[in-house]
Amino acid sequence: MSILVNEKTRLIVQGITGHVGTLETRLMLNSGTEIVAGVTPKKGGKIIEGVPVYDTVQEVLDEMKADTSIIFVPPAHAAEAIFEAAEAGIKLVVCITEGIPVKDMVKVLPYIKDRDVRLIGPNCPGITTPGGARVGIMPDFIFSKGNVGVVSRSGTLTYEVVDTLSKAGIGQSTCVGIGGDPLIGTSFIDALGMFEDDPDTSSIVMIGEIGGTAEQEAAEYIKEYVSKPVVSYIVGISAPQGKTMGHAGAIISGGVGSAREKIRVLEGAGVSVATSPEDIVEKEKIL
């Protein structure tokens, strides 16, 4: 099994006619993902990489079944694209777009919650279930099928960790990049709960970074509700206070959100904290 996406996922690509949307559509198709349609306003009737393009998500659903949407829409219009997918009845939305205004996300989050829609992102690399589906921008060649669930705030660090695991013969059930913005749709806790309930995930790797309290909240959740072993890797030990490091949410303010504080709390919850991707492998081998 897996979480969120698999070989039965039927995907819509919003923003398919843009350069990135077209490129990633081709790559997702090559990885075996079933893309049933694309959506770009006023571009309906086109064919992109063999995929029919519609003007709206609703037009797609009026003609065929789809359960997931991925968004490659510029920041100024990305929130509108999320609203459109949710209103039409899509239950899983993956938003790759970086730089969506916080004020827009403040409106998006209660809207999707009211409609029981799962949002991954924004500013995330998406989801990959090896042998099932890739809904995002993660490189296929680093993944191998297995039983380790991976959840991460950082895209490129995710790739490094997954590549290191695969080269050591440790495969993954699903990898979820939740995004590094201050306001995101799916938290560590959400992903941890899904992995805990997945019978084919035997252990979990959680990759965090400085900023906010998401890792501390995850530690409390793990202590109370997660029975599977969790290995965590927190980056940013040397990051200075008050300076944004990479992600908009990666900033230490008032002493809150430091890597050392996160590591302390995670270890207190019984989580095995690694010092490098290679150390994650070593800890996974002895679980």
The answer to whether residue 247 is catalytic is yes
Q: Are 80 and 51 in contact (CB under 8 A)?
A: no
Contact (CB, 8 A) for 214 and 153: yes
Instruction: Label the pairing between strands 172-177 and 126-129.
Output: antiparallel
**Contact assessment for residue 165 and residue 148, using Cβ atoms and an 8 Å cutoff:** yes
Catalytic annotation, pick one of 247, 257, 271, 283: 247
Distance separating alpha carbons of residues 176 and 188, to the nearest angstrom:
10
Please, what is the end-to-end C-alpha distance for the chain in angstroms?
A: 21
Q: Name the strand (E) or helix (H) holding 73.
A: none
Environment class of 266 (CB within 10 Å of its CB; exposed 0-12, middle 13-18, buried 19+): buried
- Residues annotated as part of the active site: 247
